[in-house]
């Protein structure tokens, strides 16, 4: 085995997996509070990619400013989706299936809205770096891979710190554990859900920009969240550390399969892994068994 090639592939897999993790934490946060999978999350990521693109291409903002713009924009979009599409269902105590149908409809609406207004054409981010990689001994690391890894790691660290070490995070964890009991203890569930969608949307904005930088931007880019959903299930829906670990492992497995076997296996492996996890351990690596969750 070529050790140098293996390390390069491993770093590439971790970089891709870290972006999957940014997407997956949005699924995991919403699921932990509301017990449904927010399939409109892909539409938010797609809008984040467009916000980042136009921030740089039209307004000439540096990458850090484009990411901040995408975080703010996607956070507001995610909150708006919750208020418009999910809050009325929550007020009527609708079953989880209704939320999923509403989420899928919202995702289709966002995608077609972009097609109707901006158009279906592919858009490419302005180049940030020269093609030359960073060389450490015999190992060549792509500058974009390194940037993706650093930005994802910082974003995820700040999110985990917020959830684990602050009063807001304590309220989120209490609500995830038992919504009714936390509300009796003075936690406002509406405020917690508002914050959770805002945080998930902000992470989606970062993921959208990073994914748009690596590939291209188009209205169907949100379909990549299927991979993030697999990562969230693999790690354990409702578990924030599980979503991160599962997504990074998925990224490594995909890239290794592509490098050592065939690139055609990437998508196949993701969904074979999903089926395997659902059969062998439905709660995932770090999830806990729950009842009646979709």
CATH number of residue 68's parent domain: 1.10.3470
Please give the average per-residue pLDDT across 55-75, as a whole number.
Answer: 90
The pLDDT value recorded for residue 294 is 37
Please answer whether residues 189 and 183 qualify as being in contact, where contact means their C-beta atoms are separated by less than 8 angstroms.
yes
17 in a domain, yes or no? Answer: yes
Give me the pLDDT at residue 287, please. 61
The pLDDT tens digits of the residues spanning 11-26 come to 888 988 998 998 888 8
Let me know if residue 289 belongs to a domain: no
Domain assignment of residue 294, yes or no:
no
- List pLDDT tens digits, range 30-48: 888 888 888 899 999 999 9
Tell me whether residue 142 is in a domain: yes
| Counted domains in the chain | 1
User: If pLDDT is split at 50, 70 and 90, which confidence band does 292 have?
Assistant: very low
pLDDT, tens digit (0-9, with 9 covering 90-100), for 214-238: 888 999 988 888 888 888 888 887 7
- 189-223 pLDDT per residue, tens: 889 999 999 999 999 999 999 988 888 899 998 88
Contact call for residues 74 and 197 (beta carbons, < 8 A): no
In a domain, 290, yes or no: no
Q: In angstroms, rounded to a whole number, what is the distance separating the alpha carbons of residues 31 and 287?
A: 12
Q: Is residue 177 one of the residues assigned to a domain?
A: yes
130 is a domain residue = yes
> What Rg value do the Cα atoms of the chain yield, rounded?
19
pLDDT digits (tens, 9 = 90+) for 129-178: 655 677 777 777 777 888 888 899 899 999 989 998 899 989 998 888 88
CA 104/CA 111 separation, integer angstroms = 11
The pLDDT, as a whole number, for residue 69 is 95
Residue 112, pLDDT score: 94
pLDDT > 60? residue 116: yes
Dump the DSSP string for 13-55. HHHHHHHHHHHHHHHHHHHHHHSS--TTHHHHHHHHHHHHHHH
Compute the residue count for the chain: 294
- Specify if 288 maps to a domain: no
pTM for the model: 0.87
Q: What is the pLDDT of residue 51?
A: 95
**DSSP summary character for residue 220:** G
> Residues of the chain with pLDDT > 90: what percent?
32
- Indicate the helix (H) or strand (E) that contains 12: helix 3-34
With a cut of 80, say whether residue 289 has pLDDT above it. no
Which residue range forms the structural domain that includes residue 18? Answer: 3-280
Mean of pLDDT over the chain: 85
Give the percent of the chain with pLDDT over 70.
95
Q: Name the pLDDT band for 80 (thresholds 50, 70, 90).
A: very high
Residue tagged 């949005």 (tokens): 26
- The predicted model gives 50-64 an average pLDDT of 88
């Amino acid at each position: 085995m070529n050790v140098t090639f293996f390390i390069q592939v491993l770093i590439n897999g971790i970089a891709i997996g870290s972006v999957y993790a940014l997407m997956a934490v949005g699924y995991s946060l919403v699921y932990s509070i509301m017990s449904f999978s927010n399939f409109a999350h892909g539409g938010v990521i797609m809008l984040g990619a467009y916000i980042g693109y136009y921030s740089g291409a039209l307004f000439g903002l540096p990458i850090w400013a484009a990411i901040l713009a995408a975080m703010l924009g996607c956070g507001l979009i995610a909150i708006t989706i919750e208020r418009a599409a999910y809050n009325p269902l929550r007020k009527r105590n609708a079953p989880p299936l209704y939320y999923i149908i509403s989420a899928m409809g919202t995702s289709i609406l966002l995608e077609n809205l972009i097609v109707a207004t901006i158009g279906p054409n592919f858009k490419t981010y302005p180049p940030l770096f020269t093609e030359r990689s960073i060389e450490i001994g015999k190992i060549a690391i792509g500058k974009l891979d390194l940037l993706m890894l650093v930005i994802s790691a910082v974003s995820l660290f700040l999110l985990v710190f917020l959830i684990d070490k602050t009063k807001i995070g304590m309220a989120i964890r209490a609500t995830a554990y038992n919504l009714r009991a936390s509300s009796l203890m003075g936690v406002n569930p509406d405020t917690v859900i508002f914050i959770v969608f805002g945080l998930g949307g902000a992470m989606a904005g970062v993921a959208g920009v990073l994914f748009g930088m690596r590939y291209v931007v188009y209205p169907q880019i949100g379909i990549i969240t299927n991979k993030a959903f697999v990562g969230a299930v693999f790690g354990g829906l409702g578990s924030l550390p599980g979503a991160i670990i599962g997504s990074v492992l998925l990224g490594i497995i995909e890239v290794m399969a592509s490098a050592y076997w065939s690139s055609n296996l990437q998508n196949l492996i993701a969904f074979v892994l999903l089926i395997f996890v659902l059969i062998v351990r439905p709660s995932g690596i770090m999830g806990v068994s729950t009842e009646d969750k979709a």
